[in-house]
Each structure stands twice: as structure tokens, then as C-alpha cells.
Structure 1
Amino acid sequence: MNDHMARPALTPVRGSARIAVAALVLAGAAWAARAVWQLRLAATGLPASGPPDQGEGRHRPLTALEDGYHLVSSLGDGATVLCAIAFLAWLWRVRDNAHVLSGQRPRYAGPWVYAGWIVPVANLWIPRGIVADIHRASAPGARLPRAVNWWWGLWLAGMLSGVGLMYADSTDEVIVRAYTDVHLLLAADAAVVGAAVACVLVVRALTAAQEAGMDTPPGRGDAQLP
């Protein structure tokens, strides 16, 4: 009975999971729209007036299609930011719940939930490690969902492709790439959209595991909680 009383209340995660899923769907749709616009640019071809950036600080007026791509790209960037905020809010909640369920401290300290995505080299494995650690604590003995590896592999492909999530080119330079070599852009877009879809499955799997844990009587190490 004392063990039952010792375990802190778990934080409900279904609401934050739904928000994260909705944000992931929105971000995936935004990147798909970006790919469609890149295909339209490639089909139209580079205008006779040349690229938007004419060099030496000179820019020609954008075509209607190029102007539309600027808008689609900006909306995609905004959707990606909203997705990151929603996903991290959900991730923090399930991480706290995993601590309660297992009675063990997380492998990675709290700041890594955020810093793990931006610290060079460490961002190649820490975010996946945090998710795997949460699943291990939430569902001891259960196999890690395959969606976790699909999500992380596609995420890395989109991040490291040089034309996906982390490209440093301006929007006008990306437009030129769409005119001259759209295939790499489309491959990066496909990786990002695939990562968003796989991440939806990850959110659903971890949320389901924790909801099942909420219905399980304590006794998996609750007495170890500080």
C-alpha cells in the first residue's frame, strides 16, 4: 500500500500527443507542398532573364511562381517551428512519466531534451537515445518500435543531405536548384515527409505504452524515486 501511495501522479499525455501529431501532419504537408512547388519550377524552367539573384547585389523581379515558392517556403518554416515546439512539449511529458514509471533517472539529463538537437555530433544519436530510453522505461522488456529507427534514419537523411532541413542556401538559391537539379531537393523533401510520418507512429506508440503503464499497479521500482 505504501508503494501505491509513494508513486507521484503521472502527467496525462494524450492531449499533448494529439497536438504533436497534428503539428507533425501539418509540417509534413508543408514540406510536401514545397516539393510540389519545386516540381513546378523545374517544369517551367529558368526564365530567359536568368536567376533571381543577378549578382553584385542586383535582383530581378520574381515571377508569380517564384513568389509563390517564397510564400510556401515561409509557411513551411513556420510549420516546422510549431512542430518542433509541440514535439518537444510532448517529449518532456513522456520523459517525466518514464521516470515515474521506472523509478530510475533518465539516461540523459533534462537539458539534452533541447540541446541534443543542436549540439554538433551529439545530435546524431542523442534524440533517438532519449526516445529509446523513454520507451524502455515505459514498457520494460518490450521491443523498440521499428518506427523509431525509420524516423531517425529519415530525419538524419533530411538533416545531412545539404538540401533538406539544414541547408544554408537562401530561398532564391533553392529556386535556382529547382531549375537546374531538382532531384536532390525532392529526395530531401521525401526524407523529411517520411520522417514526419514515422514520427507520428513514434508518438502514438510511446503514448500508448505510457497509457498502459498508467493502468498498471506500481511496483516497478517506485521506491527508488528520490
Structure 2
Amino acid sequence: MNDQDVQPSSSAADPSALRPVLWTARCAVAALALTGVAWLARALWEARLAAAGQPASGPPDQGGGEHRKLTPLEDAYHIVNTLGSATAVLCALLFLSWLWRVRDNARALSGEPPRYSWIWMYLGWILPLANLWIPRGLVVDIHRASAPGRRLPSSVNWWWGLWLIGLAGGVGLIYADDTDEIIARAYTDVWMLLASDAAIVGAAVAAVFVVRAVTAAQLERMTDE
């Protein structure tokens, strides 16, 4: 089905099943913004590592299970990375909390069951191959049910495209490389790292617009009900 050629559903909405979404949306937006800042910090430290150059002793992971002592800059990157990972976990939890609510509301507004069952709210992000399209599909279906006949916001495609680019770069919120591996890449191939970081930051910004668009569509429908 084309994202834009959607006809309004004839099913009756169930206003009693609608859940408040504004506060959850605001929390998700704040978490996405914080994650974007965290990835900017990672990019800054990776650029600093590249500028400093790899020590004569080689990368942190020496192979064979041996690791050399980290430099102060490498130690700082570990801290930045840990804080970024904690921020990413918080972002994932708050985004999923928002997604659950708007999914429930979309079902109440359309009177129809979601195309994807509840288990895909989790598996869709981590199952190989399926994670290339299911999360976007969840958001698309929610928007269709929330705003029938309305054009899909371009932010949805920007969000998902940038997210996949960042994921492929190995610095995404899931399937990320080990910290010492990223440090080694910063010494040898920093531009690819920075490009992936930029994609993640862009995905976070686009996701803010996705959250705002879907939430606004549902609030408008709730007001009309």
C-alpha cells in the first residue's frame, strides 16, 4: 500500500480507550535531544583522538586478549561513550513508551487492530533483516490510523533513512562496536565514524519531528471525538 494513498477508515473510534500522550511525547522528545547531544560529544572526542594520532604502542586492543594502558584522552572517550550509552537506553525506553501509547490510541481511533502484533514492538528493533523495515512500518501504520487520508510526514523517511546509515556505521544505538574498536577506527578511519555520528544525530532530530507530528495528529483527532 502506498504511504500517501490511504482512505479514511469507516470503523468507529472508541474514545474511552484513548490514552494521554502529550507528556509521554515531551519526554521522548527530550530524550531524543539528549541523545543527539551525546552523539555530538562522541564525534568531538573521536575528532580529538584522530588529531592526537595513534600512540606508538598501537591500538588499545593489542590482540590475543591483551590491552595496553589507555591514554587520558582514550580514558575520557570511554566515559563519554558510557554516558552516551546510558542516554541511548533512556531514549529507547521513553521512545517505546510513547510508541506504545500512540499505537493503542491509533487502534482506538481507527477501530481496527494494528497490522503488527505487540511482540514486534520489541523484536522489530533487534531481529536481523526485520529491523530494516518493521520499526518504520509501525510508525507508518500508527500515522495512517491516526490521520487517515493525510500525507505521511517526510520526517518519517528522513528519520528511518538516517537511522539505517548510522546503524550500518557501527555506532548506532544497537549493534555498536566495542569502545576500543571505535577508538582504533578513530585513529585510522575517523571520517567514516564522523559520518555515522552525523547520521545518528540527524536521525534523532528527525525523530523529534516524527514524535511531534504523530502526537499532534492524535491530539487533533481526540479533540474532534
TM over 0.5: yes
- Residues 37-93 of structure 1, C-alpha deviation per residue, up to 9 Å, x if partnerless? 000000010112222223333322211100000000111111111100000000000
One-letter code of the match for 2:205? V
Residue 56 of structure 2 corresponds to residue 45 of structure 1:
no
Match of 1:101 among 97, 103, 109: 109
Q: Indicate conservation of the 8 Å contact 1:163/1:184, yes or no.
A: no
One-letter code of the match for 2:86? G
- How many angstroms apart in 1 are the aligned matches of 2:138 and 2:175? 25
**Residue equivalent to 1:198:** 206
Q: Indicate conservation of the 8 Å contact 1:23/1:86, yes or no.
A: yes
Once the two structures are superposed, the pairs formed by residues 109-128 of structure 1 within 5 Å of their partners are 109-128=117-136
- Residues 110-134 of structure 1, C-alpha deviation per residue, up to 9 Å, x if partnerless? 1111111111111111111110111
One-letter code of the match for 1:26? L
- How many angstroms apart in 1 are the aligned matches of 2:137 and 2:65? 45
**Residue equivalent to 1:58:** 66
Gaps of 5+ in 1: 218-226
- How many angstroms apart in 2 are the aligned matches of 1:20 and 1:5? 26
- When Rg is computed on C-alpha atoms for both structures, the one with the higher figure is 1
Q: Indicate conservation of the 8 Å contact 2:25/2:215, yes or no.
A: yes
- How many angstroms apart in 1 are the aligned matches of 2:69 and 2:61? 10
User: How far did 1:4 drift?
Assistant: 9.3
TM-score if structure 1 supplies the norm length? 0.90
Q: Size of the alignment, in residue pairs? A: 215
Instruction: Supply the RMSD in Å over aligned alpha carbons.
Output: 1.8
TM-score if structure 2 supplies the norm length? 0.90
Once the two structures are superposed, the pairs formed by residues 8-87 of structure 1 within 5 Å of their partners are 8-87=16-95
User: Aligned in 2, Cα 1:4/1:172: closer, same or farther, shift over 3 Å?
Assistant: closer
SS of residue in 1 equivalent to 2:149:
coil
User: How far did 1:208 drift?
Assistant: 0.4
Gaps of 5+ in 2: 1-10
Q: Indicate conservation of the 8 Å contact 1:164/1:185, yes or no.
A: no
Q: Indicate conservation of the 8 Å contact 1:11/1:93, yes or no.
A: yes
Q: Indicate conservation of the 8 Å contact 1:160/1:166, yes or no.
A: no
